[in-house]
Amino acid sequence: MTILVTGADGYIGWPVLLRLAEMFPDERIVGVDNFARRRWVEEIGSVSAIPILPPEKRIEKARERWGNISFVEGDLTLKEFVDMLVRVYEPDTIVHLAAQPSAPYSQISWEKAVYTQYNNNVSTLNIIWSLKENNLLDAHLIVATTTGVYGAPEYPIPEGFYQVEYKGGKDVVPHPHMAGSFYHMSKCNDINNLWLAHRQWGLNVSDMRTAIVTGATTEEAKGELATRFDFDFYFGVVSHRFCAQTLIGYPITVYGKGLQGKPFVTLEDCVKSFVECVRKGGEGYKIYNQTLGAVKIVELAEMIREAAAEEIGLEVEVKHVPNPRVEKEEHEMVIENDNFRKLVGKPTDLKDAIADIFREIERRKAIIEAHKDRFLPKALLNQR
C-alpha cells in the first residue's frame, strides 16, 4: 500500500506523515509539499515560535528514523505534477492536507482571496480528476476541510447530512454552507466538488471537518522533528495567540463578552483521527466533525490563565476589549461528533494540550517578544 500525504511540511501534515510512518512500517509513505507555508509566514513578517529544520535536513532526519518515508517537492495546482504523482505512486490512500489555511490571510486583499481559492480549489480538483483519469477511483481520499463551513447556526450541527422537509416534500441533503471568509468559502467549494465526484464517479471520500487545532507536539513530532508553531495574527489560532500573549507578560484579550462557542480539537486527536481514518478505510462519502466540541472564548482564556500559573508560574489577567468582528456576542455552538469520537476513542483534554504548549514555548520567549507586533492587538502594543 502507498499512502500519499499532501501538505506534509505543515503544522498538521508533518506529524501526520510521521505517525503514518510509525503505524504503517511496511507501507510506503510519500510526503508532498511546495513549502509555501514557510513563505506565507515569512511574508507577513513572522516565524514559527518552535524552530523547525530546513526542509532537506528535516526530511533526512525523518528518513533516518523511518526508512519508509519518501518526499516529493511540487505544486499541486500544476496538473502535470499531480498526474506524475498519481501515475508513479498509484496511491491507495491520499491524505490531502495541502491548503492555504488562514481566514485572515485570505481577507487581506483581492489578490490573497483569489490566490487562496485558486490554490486550494485547483489543487483538490487536480487530485480528483487525476484519480479518475488514471483509473484509481477505488482510492480513499481523506480531505481536511473545516468546521468553518457551518457558520454559526442556532441549531445542532449534524455530522454529515440531515433531512429537510419543505412544503410537503423532504430529502436528505448536505448541511448548507455559511462561510465567514474567503478561505472558508474555498473549503465550501472543495466540499461541493468532492461530493460531486462521489455522486458522479463513486469516489470514496472522508471529509474531515477540522476545528481549531491546538497543541505543540505529538509523540513523533518533537525535538529535532518538531512541527511548526505559529502565533501571529494570520496563521496562529486564537489559543496559540493567547498563550503567546501570556508568555510575554500581556493580558489575554477576549473580544467582547467572549461567550461565542468555537469548536476545538487537540493536535494529538487531529493527527490520530487522520491516521485512524487511513486504517479504517473509506467507503462512500463520510463526514467527520473533527472536534472535541465547542468551548467559549472566555472559558478558553481561563484555561490558559490557569495553565500559565501551573506550568510556568505566570500570573496573567483576562481583559475584555471591544469586538472588532461582525459576529454574535453570545452563541452556543452545538456540533455532533460521533463519527470523530469513534476514530479517536478517549479524547485528549484541551487543558493538557495547552499545558504542553507552555512547556514548549517557555524557552522561546525571545522569539515571541521580537514578533509581538505580529499578534498583539494595537491597543496593547505600547502597554506593559
**Which residues lie closer than 8 Å to 139 by C-beta, 6 or more apart?**
91, 92, 93, 94, 131, 203, 204
Contact indicator for 253, 124 with CB cutoff of 8 Å = no
Residues with catalytic roles: 146, 183, 187
110 occurs within a structural domain: yes
39 occurs within a structural domain: yes
Q: Over the stretch 113-152, which tens digit does the pLDDT of each residue have?
A: 999 999 999 999 999 999 999 999 999 999 999 999 999 8
381 occurs within a structural domain: no
Q: Which residue has the cell 495567540?
A: 241
Cell of 189: 467549494
Show the domain range for 127: 2-215+264-293+334-345
Over residues 198-218, the mean pLDDT reads 98
Looking at residue 133, its pLDDT comes to 98
C-alpha 122/C-alpha 114 separation (Å) is 11
Q: Which residue has the cell 484579550?
A: 253
305 occurs within a structural domain: no
Q: Give the DSSP letter of residue 199.
A: H
Domains contained in the chain, number: 1
Q: Which range among 161-165, 301-305, 363-367 shows the weakest confidence by mean pLDDT? A: 161-165
160 occurs within a structural domain: yes
Q: Is the confidence at residue 9, as pLDDT, over 70?
A: yes
102 occurs within a structural domain: yes
| CATH value at residue 148 | 3.40.50.720
225 occurs within a structural domain: no
DSSP H helical ranges for the chain: 13-23, 36-43, 55-65, 79-89, 103-106, 110-133, 182-201, 238-247, 267-280, 297-312, 338-344, 350-361, 365-370, 378-381
Global pTM value: 0.95
164 occurs within a structural domain: yes
